[in-house]
Structure 1
Amino acid sequence: MMSPELPSAGHAEIRIVAADPEAARHVAEILRRCFAAAEARSYPAGPDGGTRLHLTVDTTRMAEPARSWLLASQSSRDDHTQPDEI
Protein backbone atom coordinates (compact mmCIF):
# COMPACT_ATOMS: atom_id res chain seq x y z
CA MET A 1 0.00 0.00 0.00
CA MET A 2 1.35 3.44 -0.92
CA SER A 3 1.66 6.17 1.68
CA PRO A 4 -0.75 9.08 1.21
CA GLU A 5 0.70 12.25 -0.30
CA LEU A 6 1.72 14.73 2.39
CA PRO A 7 0.19 18.21 2.38
CA SER A 8 2.47 21.13 1.55
CA ALA A 9 4.62 22.63 4.32
CA GLY A 10 2.57 24.58 6.84
CA HIS A 11 -0.67 22.78 5.99
CA ALA A 12 -2.49 19.89 7.66
CA GLU A 13 -5.14 17.55 6.30
CA ILE A 14 -7.91 16.86 8.80
CA ARG A 15 -10.53 14.12 8.56
CA ILE A 16 -13.69 14.45 10.67
CA VAL A 17 -16.00 11.45 10.98
CA ALA A 18 -19.36 11.78 12.75
CA ALA A 19 -22.67 9.94 12.84
CA ASP A 20 -24.45 13.29 12.52
CA PRO A 21 -23.50 15.58 9.59
CA GLU A 22 -24.28 18.63 11.71
CA ALA A 23 -21.75 17.54 14.36
CA ALA A 24 -19.06 17.23 11.69
CA ARG A 25 -19.90 20.71 10.37
CA HIS A 26 -19.65 22.18 13.90
CA VAL A 27 -16.14 20.76 14.35
CA ALA A 28 -15.08 22.07 10.92
CA GLU A 29 -16.42 25.53 11.81
CA ILE A 30 -14.38 25.60 15.03
CA LEU A 31 -11.24 24.69 13.09
CA ARG A 32 -11.96 27.46 10.57
CA ARG A 33 -12.09 29.97 13.44
CA CYS A 34 -8.62 28.88 14.56
CA PHE A 35 -6.88 28.39 11.20
CA ALA A 36 -7.24 29.60 7.64
CA ALA A 37 -8.93 26.66 5.89
CA ALA A 38 -10.13 25.44 2.53
CA GLU A 39 -13.76 24.46 2.04
CA ALA A 40 -14.49 21.06 3.59
CA ARG A 41 -15.23 18.17 1.26
CA SER A 42 -18.02 15.88 2.44
CA TYR A 43 -18.35 12.12 1.85
CA PRO A 44 -20.60 9.36 3.21
CA ALA A 45 -18.94 7.67 6.21
CA GLY A 46 -20.07 4.13 5.53
CA PRO A 47 -22.99 1.75 5.17
CA ASP A 48 -24.49 2.78 8.53
CA GLY A 49 -24.69 6.45 7.54
CA GLY A 50 -22.75 9.33 8.95
CA THR A 51 -20.50 11.91 7.35
CA ARG A 52 -16.79 12.19 6.70
CA LEU A 53 -15.40 15.70 6.11
CA HIS A 54 -11.93 16.40 4.74
CA LEU A 55 -10.50 19.81 5.50
CA THR A 56 -7.12 21.40 4.77
CA VAL A 57 -5.90 24.02 7.25
CA ASP A 58 -3.03 26.47 6.95
CA THR A 59 -1.09 26.22 10.21
CA THR A 60 1.00 29.28 9.33
CA ARG A 61 -2.11 31.49 9.58
CA MET A 62 -3.49 30.83 13.06
CA ALA A 63 -6.10 32.80 14.96
CA GLU A 64 -5.52 33.47 18.65
CA PRO A 65 -7.28 30.36 20.10
CA ALA A 66 -5.02 28.00 18.16
CA ARG A 67 -1.86 30.04 18.71
CA SER A 68 -2.34 30.08 22.50
CA TRP A 69 -3.05 26.35 22.64
CA LEU A 70 -0.14 25.37 20.39
CA LEU A 71 2.35 27.49 22.30
CA ALA A 72 1.21 26.01 25.62
CA SER A 73 1.21 22.40 24.45
CA GLN A 74 4.25 20.21 24.00
CA SER A 75 4.81 18.11 20.91
CA SER A 76 4.50 14.38 21.42
CA ARG A 77 7.24 12.22 19.91
CA ASP A 78 4.72 9.37 19.74
CA ASP A 79 4.23 8.76 16.01
CA HIS A 80 1.95 5.74 16.15
CA THR A 81 -0.80 5.20 13.60
CA GLN A 82 -4.14 4.18 15.05
CA PRO A 83 -5.33 0.70 13.99
CA ASP A 84 -8.32 2.10 12.06
CA GLU A 85 -6.29 4.68 10.09
CA ILE A 86 -5.38 4.19 6.47
Structure 2
Amino acid sequence: PNAGVSVAPVTTYSAEAAEQALAGRAVEPADPRAREYTHSTRTDGNGRFRLNGLPSGHFYLSGSGPDPASGQPRVVIRQVQLRNGQQLSVDLSR
Protein backbone atom coordinates (compact mmCIF):
# COMPACT_ATOMS: atom_id res chain seq x y z
CA PRO A 1 0.00 0.00 0.00
CA ASN A 2 1.06 3.59 -0.79
CA ALA A 3 4.05 2.50 -2.90
CA GLY A 4 5.30 4.81 -5.63
CA VAL A 5 4.77 3.77 -9.26
CA SER A 6 6.25 5.57 -12.28
CA VAL A 7 5.93 5.22 -16.04
CA ALA A 8 8.55 6.65 -18.40
CA PRO A 9 9.03 6.22 -22.15
CA VAL A 10 11.75 3.80 -23.21
CA THR A 11 14.72 5.88 -24.32
CA THR A 12 18.49 5.45 -24.11
CA TYR A 13 18.41 7.66 -21.01
CA SER A 14 15.66 5.69 -19.26
CA ALA A 15 17.28 2.36 -20.22
CA GLU A 16 20.50 3.41 -18.47
CA ALA A 17 18.56 4.53 -15.39
CA ALA A 18 16.64 1.23 -15.29
CA GLU A 19 19.88 -0.75 -15.52
CA GLN A 20 21.36 1.25 -12.62
CA ALA A 21 18.25 0.82 -10.45
CA LEU A 22 18.03 -2.94 -11.05
CA ALA A 23 21.72 -3.28 -10.16
CA GLY A 24 20.98 -1.60 -6.81
CA ARG A 25 22.99 1.52 -7.64
CA ALA A 26 21.76 5.03 -6.97
CA VAL A 27 20.14 6.73 -9.94
CA GLU A 28 20.85 10.40 -10.55
CA PRO A 29 17.80 12.67 -10.43
CA ALA A 30 16.13 12.85 -13.83
CA ASP A 31 16.88 15.71 -16.16
CA PRO A 32 14.01 18.23 -15.81
CA ARG A 33 13.17 17.72 -19.50
CA ALA A 34 12.62 13.98 -18.86
CA ARG A 35 10.34 14.61 -15.88
CA GLU A 36 7.62 16.08 -18.07
CA TYR A 37 7.29 12.66 -19.79
CA THR A 38 7.27 10.65 -16.56
CA HIS A 39 3.91 9.84 -14.99
CA SER A 40 3.68 8.87 -11.32
CA THR A 41 1.09 7.64 -8.86
CA ARG A 42 0.84 5.69 -5.60
CA THR A 43 -0.80 2.35 -4.92
CA ASP A 44 -4.02 2.15 -2.95
CA GLY A 45 -4.57 0.16 0.26
CA ASN A 46 -4.66 -3.07 -1.76
CA GLY A 47 -1.47 -2.32 -3.70
CA ARG A 48 -3.35 -1.48 -6.90
CA PHE A 49 -2.70 1.56 -9.07
CA ARG A 50 -4.09 3.29 -12.15
CA LEU A 51 -2.54 5.74 -14.60
CA ASN A 52 -4.80 7.34 -17.20
CA GLY A 53 -4.13 9.35 -20.33
CA LEU A 54 -0.87 7.75 -21.41
CA PRO A 55 -0.02 7.91 -25.11
CA SER A 56 0.71 4.75 -27.08
CA GLY A 57 4.34 3.59 -27.00
CA HIS A 58 6.93 1.53 -25.12
CA PHE A 59 7.37 2.33 -21.44
CA TYR A 60 9.27 1.34 -18.32
CA LEU A 61 6.83 0.76 -15.50
CA SER A 62 8.59 0.84 -12.13
CA GLY A 63 7.61 0.51 -8.52
CA SER A 64 9.40 0.32 -5.23
CA GLY A 65 8.57 -0.80 -1.77
CA PRO A 66 9.79 -3.04 1.03
CA ASP A 67 10.47 -6.70 0.28
CA PRO A 68 7.81 -8.66 2.23
CA ALA A 69 10.38 -11.23 3.42
CA SER A 70 13.32 -9.00 4.35
CA GLY A 71 11.83 -5.52 4.70
CA GLN A 72 14.65 -4.21 2.48
CA PRO A 73 13.80 -1.75 -0.30
CA ARG A 74 13.05 -3.43 -3.62
CA VAL A 75 12.74 -1.97 -7.13
CA VAL A 76 10.72 -3.78 -9.79
CA ILE A 77 10.77 -2.63 -13.42
CA ARG A 78 8.72 -3.99 -16.32
CA GLN A 79 8.89 -2.91 -19.94
CA VAL A 80 5.43 -2.64 -21.47
CA GLN A 81 3.93 -1.63 -24.80
CA LEU A 82 0.73 0.38 -24.82
CA ARG A 83 -1.36 0.75 -27.95
CA ASN A 84 -3.83 3.57 -28.56
CA GLY A 85 -6.86 3.13 -26.28
CA GLN A 86 -5.47 -0.06 -24.71
CA GLN A 87 -5.75 -0.88 -21.00
CA LEU A 88 -3.10 -3.06 -19.37
CA SER A 89 -2.99 -4.98 -16.15
CA VAL A 90 0.60 -5.33 -14.93
CA ASP A 91 1.85 -7.19 -11.85
CA LEU A 92 4.89 -5.49 -10.34
CA SER A 93 5.66 -8.23 -7.81
CA ARG A 94 8.65 -10.51 -8.07
Q: Assess same fold via TM > 0.5.
A: no
Q: Give the TM-score, by structure 2 length.
A: 0.27
Which is helix-richer, 1 or 2? 1
Q: Given the two structures, how large is their TM-score scaled by the length of structure 1?
A: 0.28
